[in-house]
């Protein structure tokens, strides 16, 4: 018989509910969940842990490749100015810095990550990582005539990430944002077969909706600053989301940020992309725009919410627990077990890996973490 591991915390979160403290989690040596039983039936060898036991977190939005930009961009500039600085100060990526950032994610309890990639900087660090990665190879290009060549470049990056595919990796090619992708490029992306999930930066700034409403606002200065020709863009008179979402009708889509999404956007999404996930990166929103999405609206509309850390260019650490704390600080009425489900099971569903991650169901291998007042840490 194989060796079993048994853990008992002050409480146990199973992916959906917080169970009382008399429950013991039983795993096999290869990290597979075997059972959750009452303490009086658990037998010998139970390790007692001070804190809430939880499945490993799933971080559905990260940019590991920007890890070297920690502390470089000032806070509160607003998104267009932030992006200008990212593009100008991007500089050289650093393998050692990427490795340090991802080790910190693992130690703080993150088991799986949806990671945005513009190039191949994270290819080597991902190769032997204990973290599961879905690499979202990001494509952008606002000039319609360049759509095919921009996509071809991104597909060549995707091809390199495909070599990692297997038990611990998958990948897809995705649009960057509605203000950086032309209709022609959206259209090309929408017909790529077996290319899921889709992820997109959505309504991260008021300037995005303003662009679509009447083609005014800070993005026009942004295009001019970088000599980008926006003459082909025609405003729709509405918010940005209805203009592009139909390209990915009925596909699993992860909408990232949603800081300026309206009730009409949410209703439209429920109609056109019922499998959408709403990824919140609260600390990055506070860093860049000093504002949070309307989380009450998303909850009242029954949206499936997930959590992301975004990058070290717009965050002080890559910790899902710190994102949870930021939400609790601003929305103390939301039950902890609900936010924990966003951070675990919902994230696993969004990345299409819930057969293995996100909850303590028998046969899964989600990792085991413990949460205390001081933070979260991996124990297995
Ligand atoms: Zn991002």
What confidence tens digit (pLDDT) does each residue in 273-307 have? 999 999 999 999 999 999 999 999 999 999 999 99
Beta bridge partners of 202: 257
Statement: residue 2 has pLDDT above 70: no
Is the pLDDT score of 58 beyond 80?
A: yes
Ligand 1 center to residue 317 CA distance, Å?
14
- Note the pLDDT of residue 91: 78
Pairing of strands 198-202, 18-19: unpaired
Contacts of 252 (CB under 8 A, 6+ apart): 196, 197, 198, 275, 276, 277, 350, 352
Compute the distance from residue 323 Cα to the ligand 1 centre, in Å: 14
CATH of domain 60-357: 3.20.20.140
Question: Which comes out higher in pLDDT, residue 203 or 85?
Answer: 203
Ligand 1 is an ion; its neighbours by CB within 5 Å are 310
CB environment 259-272: b (16+ within 10 A), e (fewer):
bbbbeebbebbeeb
At 1, is the pLDDT very low, low, confident or very high (cuts 50, 70, 90)?
low
The per-residue pLDDT for range 147-190, each reduced to its tens digit, is 999 999 999 999 999 999 999 999 999 999 999 999 999 999 99
Q: What percent of the chain is modeled with pLDDT above 70?
A: 99
Ligand 1 center–CA 247 separation, angstroms: 21
Residue 195 clears pLDDT 90, i.e. is over it: yes
Cis omega (within 30 of 0) for bond into 363: no
Give 313 Cα–ligand 1 centroid separation in angstroms: 10
Q: What is the pLDDT of residues 92-106, one digit of tens each?
A: 888 899 999 999 999
Domain residue limits, the chain: 1-56+359-380, 60-357
Which one, of 167, 133, 139, 174, lies nearest residue 153 by Cα?
139
Q: How far is the CA of 256 from the centre of ligand 1 (A)?
A: 7
Report how far residue 189's alpha carbon sits from residue 273's, in angstroms, rounded to the nearest whole number.
16
Ligand 1 centre distance from Cα of residue 206 (Å) = 16
Using CA atoms, how far apart are residues 315 and 174, in angstroms rounded to an integer?
A: 23
Q: Is the pLDDT of residue 69 over 60?
A: yes
50: confidence class by pLDDT, cuts 50, 70, 90: very high
Question: Alpha carbon of 153 to those of 32, 147, 150, 287: distances in Å?
Answer: 39, 10, 5, 31
How many angstroms does the Cα of residue 286 sit away from the middle of ligand 1?
A: 13
Residue 261 C-alpha to ligand 1 middle, in angstroms?
16
What pLDDT is recorded for position 373?
Answer: 87
> Ligand 1 centre and the CA of 284: distance in Å?
9
Q: What is the mean pLDDT of the chain?
A: 96
Separation of 311 CA from ligand 1 center, angstroms?
7
**CATH number for the 1-56+359-380 domain, one of 2.30.40.10, 3.30.750.80, 3.40.50.300, 3.40.50.920?**
2.30.40.10
Tokens of residue 94, six digits: 């650093």
Q: What is the pLDDT of residues 325-362, one digit of tens each?
A: 999 999 999 999 999 999 999 999 999 999 999 999 99
Q: 200 CA to middle of ligand 1, Å? A: 8
Ligand 1 centre to CA of 174 (Å) is: 12
CA of 199 to the centre of ligand 1 (A): 10
CA 61 / ligand 1 centre spacing (Å):
6
91 CA distance to ligand 1 middle (Å): 18
Distance 85 CA to ligand 1 centre (A): 14
Whether residue 21 has pLDDT greater than 90: no
d(CA 63, ligand 1 centre) in Å: 6
Q: Of residues 265 and 81, which shows the higher confidence score?
A: 265
Q: Where are the alpha helices (DSSP H) in the chain?
A: 79-89, 95-107, 123-127, 147-162, 183-190, 206-214, 218-225, 241-244, 263-272, 282-288, 295-300, 320-330, 336-341, 347-350
How many angstroms separate the alpha carbon of residue 62 from the centre of ligand 1? 6
Question: Which pLDDT score is estimated for 150?
Answer: 98
């Amino acid at each position: 018989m194989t060796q079993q591991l048994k853990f008992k915390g002050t409480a146990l979160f199973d992916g959906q509910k917080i169970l009382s403290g008399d429950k013991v989690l039983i795993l096999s040596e290869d990290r597979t969940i075997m059972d959750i039983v009452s303490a009086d039936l658990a037998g010998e060898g139970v390790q007692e842990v001070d804190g809430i036991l939880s499945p490993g977190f799933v971080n559905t939005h990260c940019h590991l490749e920007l890890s070297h930009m920690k502390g470089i961009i000032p806070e509160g500039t607003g998104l267009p100015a932030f992006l200008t600085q990212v593009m100008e100060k991007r500089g050289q990526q650093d393998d050692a810095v990427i490795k340090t950032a991802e080790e910190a994610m693992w130690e703080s309890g993150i088991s799986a990550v949806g990671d945005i990639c513009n190039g191949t900087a994270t290819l080597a660090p991902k190769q032997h990582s204990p973290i599961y990665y879905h690499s979202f190879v990001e494509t952008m290009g606002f000039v319609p005539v360049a759509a095919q060549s921009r996509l071809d470049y991104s597909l060549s990056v995707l091809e390199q990430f495909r070599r990692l595919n297997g038990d611990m990796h998958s990948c897809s090619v995705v649009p960057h944002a509605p203000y950086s992708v032309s209709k022609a490029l959206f259209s090309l992306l929408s017909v790529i077969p077996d290319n899921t999930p889709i992820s997109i930066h959505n309504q991260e700034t008021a300037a995005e909706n303003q662009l679509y409403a009447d083609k005014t606002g800070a993005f026009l200065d942004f295009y001019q600053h970088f000599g980008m020709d926006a003459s082909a863009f025609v405003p729709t008179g509405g918010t940005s989301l209805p203009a592009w979402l139909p390209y990915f009708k009925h596909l699993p889509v992860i909408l990232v940020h949603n800081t300026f999404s309206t009730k009409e956007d949410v209703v439209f999404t429920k109609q056109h992309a019922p499998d959408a996930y709403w990824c919140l990166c609260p600390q990055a929103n506070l860093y860049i725009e000093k504002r949070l999405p309307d989380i009450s609206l998303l909850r009242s509309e029954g949206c499936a919410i997930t959590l992301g850390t975004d990058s070290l260019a717009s965050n002080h650490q890559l910790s899902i627990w710190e994102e949870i704390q930021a939400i609790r600080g601003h929305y103390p009425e939301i039950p902890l077990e609900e936010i924990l489900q966003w951070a675990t099971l919902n994230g696993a569903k969004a990345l299409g890996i819930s057969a293995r991650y996100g909850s303590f169901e028998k046969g899964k291998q989600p990792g085991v973490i413990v949460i205390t007042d001081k933070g979260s840490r991996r124990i297995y």
